[in-house]
Amino acid sequence: MANSALEIVGLLLTLIGLIGAAASTGMPMWRVTAFIGENIIVFETRYEGLWMNCFRQADIRMQCKVYDSLLALSPDLQAARGLMCCSLALGGLGLLISLLGLQCTSCIQNNDRAKRLVLIIAGSMVIMACICVLIPVSWTGHVIIRDFYNPLLIDAQRRELGEALYIGWVSSAFLFAGGCMFICCNLQSEDKGSDRYMYSRNSQYMAYPPQPLQPQQLVLPPQPQPQPLLSRHPSTIYSYHSRYPSVRSAVAYL
pTM of the model: 0.67
pLDDT at 43: 67
Tens digit of each residue's pLDDT, the chain (254 residues): 557 788 888 889 999 999 999 999 988 888 887 665 555 556 678 888 888 888 887 667 778 888 887 777 778 888 888 999 999 999 999 999 888 888 777 777 777 788 888 888 999 999 999 999 999 999 989 988 888 888 887 777 778 888 899 999 999 999 999 999 888 877 754 445 444 444 444 556 566 566 666 666 666 667 666 665 555 555 555 444 445 555 455 444 44
| Residue 130 counted as domain residue | yes
Q: Say whether 51 sits in a helix, a strand or coil.
A: coil
| Residue 105 counted as domain residue | yes
Sheet holding 31-33, edge to edge: 63-66, 52-57, 44-48, 31-33, 159-161
In total, how many domains does the chain have?
Answer: 1
Task: Give the whole-angstrom CA distance, residue 116 versus residue 187.
Answer: 8
| Residue 49 counted as domain residue | no
Domain extent for 184:
1-27+73-192
| Residue 132 counted as domain residue | yes
Greatest pairwise CA separation for the chain in angstroms: 167
Q: Say whether 143 sits in a helix, a strand or coil.
A: helix
Alpha helices in 46-162 (DSSP H): 75-101, 112-148
Per-residue buried b or exposed e for 213-248, using 16+ beta carbons within 10 Å of the residue's own CB: eeeeeeeeeeeeeeeeeeeeeeeeeeeeeeeeeeee
Q: What is the CATH number of the domain that holds 118?
A: 1.20.140.150
Which of 83, 82, 99, 72 lies closest to 15 in space, CA to CA? 99
Task: Give the whole-angstrom CA distance, residue 157 versus residue 73.
Answer: 15
| Residue 83 counted as domain residue | yes
| Residue 36 counted as domain residue | no
| Residue 41 counted as domain residue | no
Task: Give the whole-angstrom CA distance, residue 102 versus residue 94.
Answer: 12
